[in-house]
Amino acid sequence: MTTGEGLETTFHLLAQTENEAAAQVLAAALDSPYPDLAERALAVLLKRRSLVGQHEVIRRIHELDDRWRAIIHDHRGTMSQALRDALLSADARWCANSCQAILWFHEYDLMPTLINVLEDDTNPNAPLAAETALKLAELFYDDLAGAHDFQPRRDPQTMLRHLTKTLEESVKRYARHRRMEPVEAFLLLANRDNLTLKQILLDPLNASYLAVIEVLTRSRKPGIIRLLLSYLDDPQTSSAPLTAIAHRDDREFVEPFLRRVGSEPSPAVRRSLARIEHFAWLRPGNPLLDELDEAAQHSTIELLAASGMNRLQAFQTISHLVLHGKPGGRRAAVRALAAFHGIEANQIALKALDDEDPYVQALALAQLRERGIPGAVSLLIERTESPLPVVQQAARESLSEFSFARYLSAFDMLEEQVRRSTGVLVRKIDPQTLPLLREELAAPSRRRRIRGLQMAETMHLAPQVEEDILKLMHDDDHLVRLGAAKALVQCRSLASIEALREAEQDKSAIVREAALQSLEQIGKLLAVAREGGAGGRVQESAY
């Protein structure tokens, strides 16, 4: 028999025998200088499921290389009792190795043992057990949220209830052990409907109350933040969670908090926010507000609108975002600014008119007239000629009373000076002026055609509708021809001059006279233009 065959036979016998002395032999082989021999001994020892052998393996966990770890990992489900024994041991190294393996194997069934150790103030390993319990709860939280492969016999929801109940009982005993780790672990896995948690939050005199509030206020673990944010959806929640929300100022909480608020908070969230009067992270000078992205700054504005925050404090935040926020934040802030009046708010609105974002400009423009800012109409008229379409539109909507339709309906009742000044505004503000004026000039009603010609002259739009006016020089009605001859005084094209010369032969004396006067006026204007070099803009300047 060769040496290899002899070892194979030996290991086979050691694996099959019921004699516990075999475990001692295999444990001694773990320290063999020959790696292959030691690894084979490890595999056989674990296969035997010998408690003595498993103890020896746990004693060496801190020294394992990758190959040993792979072998042990394949047998991790058989070592619970050995891990429990090591955890309860007073030996620091053995206990530390057990805690390491518990986390490595995701041994959630050992949470009660960890709780027993951490609550024993005479056990020197209590702090390590407390730390391990919290880490184990974190592992389970991640496993639930991820793609962890739970064994068929280990239903995750059943395990969640078991772990939560175990931690819940430890929280009830907080006054005795005073350890925060089981409190944090409990909150990591609990939901807001947990009866024990509800009772604690409703009773400030409860021994665990301050510890729970401390964790809700300080912990940056995603599970704790998830729990705290869930209270926003409960309009009947106690004030304690809302107070914790108000006092948090860490980015890890603020950003998911604002995502929960969103761009349009739900009715339940609005009711909860209305009960909060301040937010620690919105204190003046906190750089976090400026560091938030556009969506978060937008949500901040929604938060201010829904909350019970003092209006002066809200105004300070809104003003800051109008001037220093990111584009989405500035837009939301300018909208919110509409609810505030007074000199300071007006000044902020005026500054927003020079914002690089056209939408911010447009939103500020829409507020000018309501604010009663001196010169608001002039500012709006000026912005109707902005190269930015959205700004033009906002200015025109703010001057919506200066529409062609309203001007048309009031035209006959207006004095000449008012007709001209209002006509200038309508021409600039209403983009439908020209097409609507052409409709009047082509109307079947003689009265409408005459009024259209008067409006074209008054608004100084005859050159733009020249073709329409030339057609009316041949109208059957002499009063329409009269109005057309008068309007053509603003047109100095060859076609208009020819039409006026033909009108000097019109069968109506008043049309002939009007044509002659228009030709004389055009001649004077052309002479001035030749002398002054002003060209075709002489009439515009005079107007």
Note the pTM of the prediction, 2 decimals.
Answer: 0.74
Count of alpha carbons within 13 Å of 373, Cβ hemisphere only? 26
Distance CA 86, CA 94 (A): 6
- Residues 6 or more apart in contact with residue 322 via CB below 8 angstroms: 330, 333, 334, 337, 348, 351, 352, 360
Dump strand ranges (E) for 316-435: none
Residue-wise pLDDT tens for the chain (543 aa)? 344 454 555 554 455 455 455 555 555 556 556 566 566 666 666 665 666 667 777 777 766 666 666 666 666 666 778 889 889 988 899 899 899 989 988 889 999 999 999 999 999 999 999 999 999 999 999 988 875 555 645 688 899 999 999 999 999 999 999 999 999 999 999 999 999 999 999 999 999 999 999 999 999 999 999 999 999 999 889 999 999 999 999 999 999 999 999 999 999 999 999 999 999 999 888 899 999 999 999 999 999 999 999 999 999 999 999 999 999 999 999 999 999 999 999 999 999 999 999 999 999 999 998 888 888 888 888 898 899 999 999 988 888 888 899 889 888 888 989 889 888 888 888 889 999 999 999 999 999 999 999 999 999 999 999 999 999 999 999 999 999 999 999 998 899 999 999 999 999 999 999 999 999 998 888 877 777 654 443 333 222
Closest CA to 56 of 68, 67, 464: 68
- Residues 6 or more apart in contact with residue 203 via CB below 8 angstroms: 209
SS3 at position 76: helix
Q: How far apart are the first and last CA of the chain?
A: 122
CB 351 within 8 A of CB 343: no
CB neighbour burial string for 503-532, b if at least 16 within 10 angstroms, e if fewer: beebebeebbebbeebbebbeebeeebeee
CB 117 within 8 A of CB 126: yes
C-alpha gyration radius of the chain: 43
Amino acid at 200: I
CB neighbour burial string for 459-477, b if at least 16 within 10 angstroms, e if fewer: bbbbbbbbebbbebbebee
Phi and psi at residue 122, in whole multiples of 5°?
-90, -10
Distance CA 365, CA 359 (A): 10
Distance of CA 82 to the CA centre of its chain: 51
Distance CA 118, CA 176 (A): 11
Distance CA 149, CA 117 (A): 29
Residue 417 CB coordination number (10 Å): 8
